[in-house]
Amino acid sequence: MAFLILVVLFVVIKLSVYVLLQSAPEGFFRAEHIGSRDRETPDQVLSPQINASDDYLWEALPAVAPSPVGNPITREKIQLGKALFFDKNLSADRSLSCASCHELEKYAGGDGAEVSTGIWGKKGDRNAPTVWNSAFQKRLFWDGRARSLEQQAIQPLLNPIEMGMKSEIEIEKRVQEQPHYPDLFSRAFEGDTEISIDKIVKAIASYERTLITNDSPYDEFVRGDVSALTSQQLSGMALFEKVGCVHCHFGPNFSAASVFSDGLELRAFPANPDQLGAEYNFGNDGEKNTVWRVPSLRNVALTGPWLHNGQVDDLKEVVRIMAKAQLGKSKTREFQWVEHRLGVIENPDLTEQQVEDIVAFLHALSSRRLVQAAIE
Ligand code: HEC
Ligand code: HEC
């Protein structure tokens, strides 16, 4: 008899534990909600740990970018680099220059398309990031695979779906063909007229180091003009820090992958698998790459559509995705009352007002000159 009672008791206990487990919101027992840090990758450190600090330093962007040892910047090198950047002879069918996909004025240094179109109309699978202020990034490309502008510049030239040149020698030949280059090379490289791929990328990188925008309302504000930001932008700026965007987008170039930072340059994205991100094929499209360079947010309001596949054309939606995928903002709306009652998840979604305020702040990172150029 006693045995039977024991068995019944056992079954009842087991059943109630099962029912309890079933009723918990999805993901309730995952490490990030319990708060155990040792099982988490750094990306899954969620906003409860990213507390707003009183001493976050807002900085303006300097007017000059650093150049590496071995490629000091000179006026002559910049001039040569500029000629190369705009030269369509550097693509296999002579139809594209660097500037074709990086339109400096019209699209604020990108091309305004979801993904870029290379020679012979070949479509890539990545959105063209802006070249403005890329001089301050120590990791380039969406996946951060290049570590300098010199390393970066050779890749589009040889990429079969971008400029499609067959070899470095072929690129050198295209440059040698044109009568105005020997003189430009000679002036840029101490009287040496020899044209080499090494010099070509050095000159292009030098020119790119002059593509700097520090004339945004944000920079003006940081330099002391308190009227440069609207009250909504100020509220967005406070939120940008408080909710934890600065955890990854920090420093004068708003990126952990900038020369100003020694933080984590690459981040899992989506760090917290999320329905909203999945709708735009993030982390859901068989992408082999799951780790991405933290991009700069300067001029971001001018460089849509956004994110590495260019699938999102509404900046508010990008902010919502970031909040959910990178800051673990609550995705289990229907269970919010349980979470609040239990006090376990202190990480509710951003309100629409907060999203709009953050977007207003992102607009304050746009260069006044480029905003003007985009209108004209
Ligand atoms: C067919 C369009 C196309 C052409 C032509 C092109 N690019 Fe790009 N560029 C892109 C795309 C797309 C990416 C992002 C690719 C990736 O992340 O894998 C990119 C990335 C870059 C970046 C990295 C920016 C960052 O923030 O990471 C720089 C710098 C750049 N290109 C400079 C150049 C230069 C210099 C040339 C000419 C030698 C050039 N591009 C030619 C489309 C193009
Ligand atoms: C854990 C790091 C992390 C945090 C926190 C984070 N981001 Fe990001 N952000 C990234 C990464 C990585 C990308 C690039 C994603 C990709 O591959 O498309 C990105 C991309 C973006 C972009 C698109 C840039 C472009 O050129 O398309 C915007 C805008 C942005 N973040 C804003 C924010 C805002 C606003 C917040 C705060 C609500 C935030 N981010 C929080 C890492 C982070």
Residue of 107, 131, 281 whose CA lies nearest to 208: 131
Residue of 243, 162, 213, 170 whose CA lies nearest to 60: 213
The reply to whether 190 and 298 lie within a common domain is: no
Structure confidence at residue 49 (pLDDT): 35
Q: Scanning the structure block, which residue is given the tokens 């991100």? A: 277
The reply to whether 120 and 165 lie within a common domain is: yes
Structure confidence at residue 272 (pLDDT): 85
The reply to whether 267 and 151 lie within a common domain is: no
For residues 292 and 277, what is the distance between their CA atoms, to the nearest angstrom? Answer: 14
The answer to the question of residue 21 being in a domain is: no
117 - beta bridge partners? Answer: 123
Ligand 1 near 114 CB (within 6 A): no
What is the number of domains present in the chain? Answer: 2
Residue 194 Cα to ligand 1 middle (Å): 26
Residue 313 Cα to ligand 2 middle (Å): 14
Kindly report, residue by residue over 81-91, the tens digit of the pLDDT. 999 999 999 99
CB count in 10 Å sphere of residue 359: 20
The answer to the question of residue 191 being in a domain is: yes
For residues 97 and 204, what is the distance between their CA atoms, to the nearest angstrom? Answer: 12
Residue 212 or residue 17, greater confidence: 212
Whether the pLDDT of residue 118 is over 70: the answer is: yes
Ligand 1 near 126 CB (within 6 A): yes
Select from 193, 208, 223 the last residue of a domain: 208
Q: What is the CATH number of the domain that holds 243?
A: 1.10.760.10
The reply to whether 231 and 360 lie within a common domain is: yes
The answer to the question of residue 151 being in a domain is: yes
For the chain, give the secondary structure using H, E and C: CHHHHHHHHHHHHHHHHHHHHHHCCCCCCCHHHHCCCCCCCHHHCCHHHCCCCCCCCCCCCCCCCCCCCCCCCCHHHHHHHHHHHCCHHHCCCCCCCHHHHCECCCCCCECCCCCCECHHHCECCCCCCCCCCHHHECCECCCCCECCHHHHHHHHHHCCCCCCCCCHHHHHHHHHCCCCHHHHHHHHCCCCCCCCHHHHHHHHHHHHCCCCCCCCHHHHHHCCCCCCCCHHHHHHHHHHHHCCHHHCCCCCCCCCCECCCCCCCEEECCCCCCHHHHHCCCCCCCCCCCEEECCCCCCHHHCCCECCCCCECCHHHHHHHHHHHCCCCCCCHHHHHHHHHHCCCCCCCCCHHHHHHHHHHHHCCCCHHHHHHHHC
Ligand 2 near 321 CB (within 6 A): no
Most ligand 1 atoms within 8 A of CB, residue of 120, 162, 289, 292 to mutate? 162
Q: Which domain holds residue 286?
A: 27-56+213-375
Ligand 2 atom closest to Cα of residue 247: 5
Kindly report, residue by residue over 18-65, the tens digit of the pLDDT. 444 444 444 443 433 333 333 333 333 333 333 445 679 999 999 999
The ligand placed nearest to the CA atom of residue 359 is 2
Q: Are 250 and 263 in contact (CB under 8 A)?
A: yes
Kindly report, residue by residue over 203-260, the tens digit of the pLDDT. 999 999 999 999 999 999 999 999 999 999 999 999 999 999 999 999 999 999 999 9
Burial class (CB in 10 A: 0-12, 13-18, 19+), 320: buried
The reply to whether 233 and 368 lie within a common domain is: yes
The ligand placed nearest to the CA atom of residue 161 is 1
Ligand 1 near 104 CB (within 6 A): no
The reply to whether 105 and 190 lie within a common domain is: yes
The reply to whether 281 and 299 lie within a common domain is: yes
Q: Are 234 and 360 in contact (CB under 8 A)?
A: no
The answer to the question of residue 19 being in a domain is: no
Ligand 2 near 139 CB (within 6 A): no
The reply to whether 231 and 343 lie within a common domain is: yes
The reply to whether 115 and 173 lie within a common domain is: yes
Which of the residue ranges 55-64, 157-166, 328-337, 343-352 would you say has the lowest mean pLDDT? 328-337
Q: Are 85 and 98 in contact (CB under 8 A)?
A: yes
The ligand placed nearest to the CA atom of residue 299 is 2
* Average pLDDT for the chain: 86
Residue 376 Cα to ligand 1 middle (Å): 24
Ligand 1 near 129 CB (within 6 A): yes
Select from 208, 227, 251 the last residue of a domain: 208
The answer to the question of residue 5 being in a domain is: no
**Region of residue 327 (left: phi > 0; alpha: psi -120 to 50; beta: else):** alpha
Structure confidence at residue 54 (pLDDT): 61
Q: Are 125 and 309 in contact (CB under 8 A)?
A: yes
The reply to whether 204 and 272 lie within a common domain is: no
The answer to the question of residue 20 being in a domain is: no
Structure confidence at residue 9 (pLDDT): 65
The reply to whether 250 and 334 lie within a common domain is: yes
Contacts of 340 (CB under 8 A, 6+ apart): none
The reply to whether 167 and 200 lie within a common domain is: yes
The answer to the question of residue 115 being in a domain is: yes
Residue 209 Cα to ligand 2 middle (Å): 24
137 - beta bridge partners? Answer: 258
Residue 292 Cα to ligand 2 middle (Å): 10
Select from 180, 208, 236 the last residue of a domain: 208
